[in-house]
Amino acid sequence: MSDTLDGITTFVRVVESGSFALAAERMNITRSAVGKAITRLEKRLGVRLLQRTTRSQSLTEDGQAYYDRCVRALTELEAAEADLDLGRREPRGRLRVSVPVAFGHHCVTPVLLALARKHPELKVDISITDRKVDLMEEGFDLVVRIGTLGDSTSLAARRLGVQHASIAASPAYLARQGMPTRVDEMRGHKGIAYSRAGLAQPWHVLDVDGKMRLAEVEQQLSLDDVQAIVLAAIAGFGLAWLPSWLLTRYVKTGELVAVMDRCFEPAQDIYIVWPQTRYLPLKTRCAIDALVAEIPGLIGE
């Protein structure tokens, strides 16, 4: 039976990934190992499954027919494993998670480290990046996303909380330039902007009267990393846009002062997202439950 199944999972991953290299990365094996597995499978079956060139690959007619049946067979095996999972108390296996940089460092990683310590058979692989990964194409079990989710019938999600944003500065900067209490008092102040793709985000701020106004600050610095904005603010470069959950940590240490708290609208929802599946593995379910339970406390909800 093991001879019969040898290479099937690798073959399906190659087709779904579109390349040997990406399939190897997702399976955490070498490209050479993927190639050998496909060669052995084709030799055993006596047919060519993939038409390969140096630049592309495609299924042969036999390959397409075999792939369709393999997918159905693997679905049944996943269902069988899910049934076994119901009676298992310990999550195990590799869990791949993608998280935004600052939120990942400060909030998600501590929760997943605690989960890994509790369950030694769980192999946690965390990718920390602000790039919006393709969950399905890149083979992630879970991703954390901040902001509006697009419509997708292939993905499922649970809300972890809300990210508010505030304006802050160092005590030294405020002693030197004064503490603005309204949006119009920010005119003439230096600002540290958050930027994406080289474009600084304007500050539409909720003023003391409840109306949204554009804050006119001179944006001397623009950074695409929230932790770098923290460092610039502590160094006294000016007013900074920061997620409120992150600002709270530096207010407690006295390194930063909240100038206007939770003053950006709309707030952004935080989600944990995973591939829509009929059978959710225990490892994935445990991670989702841990994040749902712990994240609200970490962001001050």
Q: Specify which residues 239 forms β-bridges with.
A: 191
CATH number, domain of 291, equals 3.40.190.10
- Is the pLDDT confidence value at 57 over 70? yes
- Is the pLDDT confidence value at 218 over 80? yes
Q: List C-alpha distances in Å: 270 to 267, 292, 300.
A: 10, 11, 13
268 domain residue, yes or no: no
236 domain residue, yes or no: yes
- Write down the residue that tokens 């692989």 correspond to: 125
Structural domains in the chain (count)? 3
208's tokens: 């003391």
Residue-number span of the structural domain to which 71 is assigned? 2-86
Computed over every residue of the chain, the mean pLDDT equals 88
290 domain residue, yes or no: yes
260's tokens: 């206007």
- Is the pLDDT confidence value at 24 over 90? no
The pTM of this model reads 0.71
112 domain residue, yes or no: yes
Higher-pLDDT residue of 137 and 156 is 156
Mean pLDDT score, 34-53: 88
139 in the same domain as 281 = yes
User: pLDDT tens, 70-96?
Assistant: 888 887 777 666 656 555 678 888 999
Domain boundary among the residues 61, 86, 111 is at 86
103 in the same domain as 74 = no
56 in the same domain as 107 = no
- Is the pLDDT confidence value at 3 over 60? no
- Is the pLDDT confidence value at 121 over 80? yes
CATH number, domain of 37, equals 1.10.10.10
255 in the same domain as 173 = yes
Instruction: Determine the Cα angle at 190 with ends 107 and 163, to 5°.
Output: 25
User: pLDDT tens, 93-110?
Assistant: 899 999 999 999 999 999
Cα-atom radius of gyration of the chain, to the nearest Å? 25
253 domain residue, yes or no: yes
177 in the same domain as 103 = no
Mean pLDDT score, 41-56: 85
Percent of the chain with pLDDT over 90: 54
User: pLDDT tens, 281-291?
Assistant: 889 999 999 99
- Is the pLDDT confidence value at 153 over 80? no
Domain boundary among the residues 86, 102, 131 is at 86
81 in the same domain as 12 = yes
222 in the same domain as 289 = no
269 domain residue, yes or no: no
- Is the pLDDT confidence value at 186 over 80? yes
148 domain residue, yes or no: no
> Helix 31-45 vs helix 8-17: angle between axes, to the nearest 10 degrees?
120
Residue type, 232: A
